[in-house]
Amino acid sequence: MAEASPYAADALIPHTVEPHPVTGIPNGKLGIWLFLASEVMLFGALFSTYVVIRTTAPHWPPEGGLSSEILNVPLATVNTAVLITSSITMVLSWASLKMQNLPRFRLWLGSTIALAFVFLVIKYFEYTHKFELGHYPSHDNFYAVYFTLTGLHGVHVIGGIIVNTFLLTAGSRMWATEPERFTNRIENAGLYWHFVELVWIFLFPSLYLL
């Protein structure tokens, strides 16, 4: 009996490991780039709405003062550092697979997941304080924009946690049979996570500092 090819799945679903001859990249990476393009349009529309609302409002925030005086800049700064660090650990998890080091991969991807939880915990305390003050999305346009943008971003963080947790646990079984394909999956998950970080890099100064 002929020995099964380590890339047998690539014959059933073409170009999951080898680059597509037309695009020059595996289909999975093309798929994640197309998905991220739709995400850019989603957040782009929300940012555009924010700009229109802010530039046409007689006062911003409507209750007076500055955004930096109303929102918790120190907590947001910590969260920015947390997300940037998690992006680094995500890259290190992929690099560990390229170096054939599965234990190190688990360490770095586990760190990425842990940092994502830290981000959400900090955001929880920030939201809780706003709710205690009676500041809800219905309070005014400022809080409607704030909760919509940061809340949607938080949903994306949760999505990243779910995907990365699967890849760290049950999904990592693929490493034993299809290491290159599994490495590609981690790279694609990393592209998504970098996008989540990049969105926050725009959110932080736009909402908290300007």
pLDDT 10s per residue in the chain (210 long)? 444 444 455 556 677 777 777 677 788 889 999 999 999 999 999 999 999 999 998 888 887 777 888 999 999 999 999 999 999 999 999 999 999 999 999 999 999 999 999 999 999 999 999 999 999 999 889 999 999 999 999 999 999 999 999 999 999 999 999 999 999 999 999 999 999 999 999 999 999 998
Secondary structure (H, E, C), 7-76: CHHHHHCCCCCCCCCCCCCCHHHHHHHHHHHHHHHHHHHHHHHHHHHHHHCCCCCCCCCCHHHHCCHHHH
193 falls within a domain? yes
15 falls within a domain? no
Task: HSE, CB side, 13 Å, CA atoms: give it for residue 157.
Answer: 30
Residue 71 CB coordination number (10 Å): 20
The pTM of this model reads 0.90
14 falls within a domain? no
172 falls within a domain? yes
> Left, alpha or beta for 24 (phi > 0: left; psi -120 to 50: alpha)?
left
147 falls within a domain? yes
Count structural domains, the chain. Answer: 1
127 falls within a domain? yes
38 falls within a domain? yes
17 falls within a domain? no
CATH number of the domain at 122, please: 1.20.120.80
Domain region containing 48: 23-58+72-209
